[in-house]
Chain A
Amino acid sequence: MIDLRLLSRTTIYMEDVKPQLLKVTIDGIEVEVEPGTTILQAARKIGPEVAPPAMCYYQPLKASGGKCRACLVRVAAGSAKDPRPMPKLVASCLTAVQDGMIVENTTNPQVIDARNGIVEFLLLNHPLDCPVCDQAGECDLQNFAFDHGKVTTRYEEERRTFEKQDIGPYIQLHMTRCILCYRCVFTADQITNKRVHGVLGRGDASEIGTYIEKAIDNDFSGNVIDVCPVGALTDKTYRFKNRVWFSKPVDAHRDCPTCSGNVTLWYRGEDVIRVTARKNEWNEVTEFICNTCRFEKKKTSDWTIEGPTKISRSSVISANKYRADTVKPAFGQRLAAAEYKAIHDERDTSQLGIQQLAPERFAKVLPSALDPEP
């Protein structure tokens, strides 16, 4: 965990400074952003330590957001002109920043309490079948629940369940896992030429469906799998084949007549077991890809390999795949190294087969930690 008190002394200025930039303070850290930026985007500029979680907001999709309420924050001061606090918690993904706005995210107990409530609500009807879910390891809900969830549930009633549905030859819909973020609806609206699925029903009986089980048949339909924050929409060519942490993502491209052809290939051993669009550090697709690239090009010879995908060190996907010295130390590591103290343990671990880390090796792993730079 990062100590926010240390972060709060830092002021981050964005590169292209223009005179009309707005100054906003999030959790004590000041950042300057362009007018029209939302609180969430401003917080993301500062870094993942202060960025509110987003289960429904998806930057590449217009009109997304506002539904999951996971990103609620408190605005302690509306703007420099009108420093009154906002009466309610606001959805940071939709609220535009004002000059002089002060936002409380992880520093406000009311926000944390509301967020804990949201996790509880989202998990009420979630099957928690993570052990057999393809999304496990790259699931937004799993991460959100890890950060804000409780160990037990207070819900005793029967959970809402649905039959699995095949929507087309490539996609399976497992509605029971859905958290109704509407991302797949926006995706179909905005990047395919016709949307044939949507939300049916209302309240906790609403479901994603195609009405009379119609197939989603479209060159770009596979993208709904990538945008799904949970395991509700899964790739039928990949289902139950693998756990994400056993596969190794590699960036590759091909000359595709339909899409950009920039993808991530997921290797297990020598085999490409899955193709997905490339995602940024916020788990958002940067370029949507077509179904041919996604479902039909599963040979290495189809692709020009660019190199290993950059994966956050904290992600389970990176486990055991990268040598530590090839990864640029992140802020957290620098912090950890700064506070590093040799453990004076009287137990002798040499007999247990645990490799002792030599000081010079440590220096190689974390070069900047021992550098005199600030």
Chain B
Amino acid sequence: MATKILTEHINVPGIETFDVYRKQGGYTAVEKALKTMTPEAIVEEVKKAGVRGRGGAGFPMGMKWSFLAKPEGVPRYLVCNADESEPGTFKDHYLMKNIPHLLIEGMIVSSFALGANKSFIYVRGELMYVINILEKAIAEAKAKGFLGKNILGTGYDLELVVQPGGGAYICGEETALLESLEGKRGNPRNKPPFPAVKGLYQSPTVVNNVESIATAAWIVNNGGDAYAAVGIGRSTGTKLISASGHIRKPGVYEIELGLPVEDFLYADEWCGGIRPGHKFKALVAGGSSVPILPANLALTLANGEKRLMSYESLSDGGFATGTMLGSGGFIVFDETSCIVRNTWNFSRFYHHESCGQCSPCREGTGWMEKVLHRIEYGHGHQQDIDLLVDVAKKIEGNTICPLGDAAAWPVASAIRHFRDEFQWHIDNPSEATKPGAVYKGEMALV
């Protein structure tokens, strides 16, 4: 049985209530942190744990915490990014819905470590029922003296605010989230200054993903070294993976980082393999914005070794033969899926979600979507594939926030690995536009 850090007690009946959670050893981290540890010691433990941001970018959480500016007389804020809207990612939703007190415990410990007296959980607006669950849990914790004024008699005050967002994908970008939290239009800010210096209300702010914050409680209880012992290399600890697509057992799984992709995909403990009678065609390993990989490259590295579920192994080979762990949205495609249609679908999403602030993303995402739509519906031109590559190249890296990159990568990678399929759509429009028509040419199916 693999180590479970976040989901160990998730199936205990009634775990969403304070009493059951407490009985399973909940809130001991709050007691330990507030009564026996200094904020600096907690930051040190998190640094030792080497836990990397679980929202997608994979930036070490302890480093982020230590960058927080600490000017005198200015409040500091911790903001939990629960605006999970990446297509293919649904782990935070699962965690907050089932075990809300884990996040709250993590928030208390992290806020204490950062010296924040008011912390926010920014939840995606569509998840109204999760917001209700969180608010109920916060009320319970407050009634038991774990939140509010003078927590456990230690003199530390913390107020937790749950803020529903409007459901915009862009508000998952940390600075857009802060703008939205301030009540403004959710446009990403230009960086620098980074939130660690000027964030929410121009005060130093740390923005962390739900899953990252939830690990803090375990790290306080068991120590950073124990956390770092799990996982592989610089990818320490466990990761929640939201598995979806053409697999036998879709769902959220907590895995130790370093598990081979092949085991995760085929073992009964996790995905249980491709649906019966079908073959593995392609994989999006970390949510829709990471590059798509064909089956052979998804399972093995360029040098023939097994590809592992870790930050390093998934990005091995750069964008030529690799991808990214991202937010852990594991989307599996079998041979019945049309990559052109899928790419168009992703592209449509990014077109719809672009905030429209900077020109490459505002105009480029729409352009890519229209060209892909044209190819998918049998009106593609021979030069369209090169056009898409060029447009993607001109968006990538030239935008204010990473949404431009997120829109460009799936298109560029789909063309890189499945160019023949695009070409087939352009060459055989009448065949390709038949209902259910899929490219059947040469490709690596597993």
Contacts and interface: CB of A to CB of B under 8 A. Distances in A.
Interface stretch (A201-209, A276-284, A307-315): A201-209
B355 A203 contact: yes
Contact of B358 (A66, A120, A157, A202): A66
A203 B354 contact: yes
B359 A121 contact: yes
A202 B168 CA distance: 10
B331 to A, nearest CB: 23
Interface in B345-368: 351-360, 362-367
A347 interface: no
Contact of B354 (A66, A122, A202): A202
A203 B168 CA distance: 11
Nearest to A207: B356
A196 interface: no
A118 B355 contact: no
Contact of A180 (B356, B387, B400): B356
B198 to A, nearest CB: 12
Contacts of A125: 363
Given A69-B358, A180-B356, A117 B394 contact: yes
A182 B357 CA distance: 9
A88 B191 CA distance: 13
Give the one of B170, B185, B359, B366 with max A CB within 10 A: B359
A199 to B, nearest CB: 7
A94 interface: yes
Interface string A4-15: 000000000000
B190 interface: yes
B182 to A, nearest CB: 14
B399 interface: yes
Contacts of B351: 203-204
A67 interface: yes
A162 interface: no
Contacts of A182: 357
A72 B400 CA distance: 11
Nearest to A114: B398
A89 interface: yes
Nearest to A155: B367
Contacts of A157: 367, 370
B354 A69 contact: no
A203 B398 contact: no
A204 B397 contact: no
A188 interface: no
Identify whether the interface residues of A are mostly helix, strand, loop, or mixed: loop
A68 interface: yes
A204 B400 contact: no
Contact of B394 (A66, A67, A114, A155): A114
Contacts of B400: 66-67, 69
A154 interface: yes
Given A202-B168, A203-B352, A203-B353, A154 B387 contact: yes
Contact of B356 (A89, A91, A204): A204
Interface string A183-206: 000000000000000110111111
Nearest to A158: B370
A124 interface: yes
Given A89-B398, A157-B370, A206 B356 contact: yes
A68 B359 contact: yes
Nearest to B400: A66
B358 A67 contact: yes
B399 A203 contact: no
A124 B363 contact: yes
Nearest to B351: A203
B366 A89 contact: no
Given A155-B367, A202-B356, A203-B351, A117 B398 contact: yes
Contacts of B360: 69, 117-118, 121
A180 B356 CA distance: 8
A158 to B, nearest CB: 9
A154 B381 CA distance: 11
Interface in A254-268: none
Contacts of A203: 351-356, 362, 365-366
B190 A66 contact: yes
Contact of A121 (B170, B363, B387): B363
A67 B370 contact: no
B364 A121 contact: yes
A244 interface: no
Interface string A87-101: 011010010000000
A91 B398 CA distance: 9
Contacts of A94: 190
Given A89-B397, A154-B387, A204-B366, A68 B354 contact: no
A136 interface: no
Interface string B366-383: 110010000000000001
Nearest to A203: B354
Contacts of A89: 397-398
A179 interface: yes
Interface in A73-87: none
Contacts of B355: 202-203, 206
Interface in A143-170: 154-155, 157
A121 B394 contact: yes
Contacts of A69: 358-360, 398-400
Nearest to B393: A117
B191 to A, nearest CB: 9
Given A88-B397, A204-B351, A122 B363 contact: yes
B390 to A, nearest CB: 8
Give the one of B190, B353, B362, B400 with max A CB within 10 A: B362
Contacts of A118: 359-360, 394, 398
Interface of B: 168, 170, 185, 190, 351-360, 362-367, 370, 383, 387, 394, 397-400
Given A124-B363, A202-B353, 11 more contacts: A67-B359, A69-B398, A69-B399, A69-B400, A72-B398, A89-B398, A118-B394, A121-B362, A198-B185, A202-B354, A203-B362
12 contacts: A67-B358, A69-B399, A89-B397, A117-B394, A117-B398, A118-B394, A118-B398, A121-B360, A125-B363, A154-B387, A198-B185, A204-B356
Q: Sorted from nearest, which 8 A-B pairs have the closest CB atoms?
A: A117-B394, A206-B356, A121-B363, A203-B354, A66-B190, A204-B366, A203-B356, A88-B397
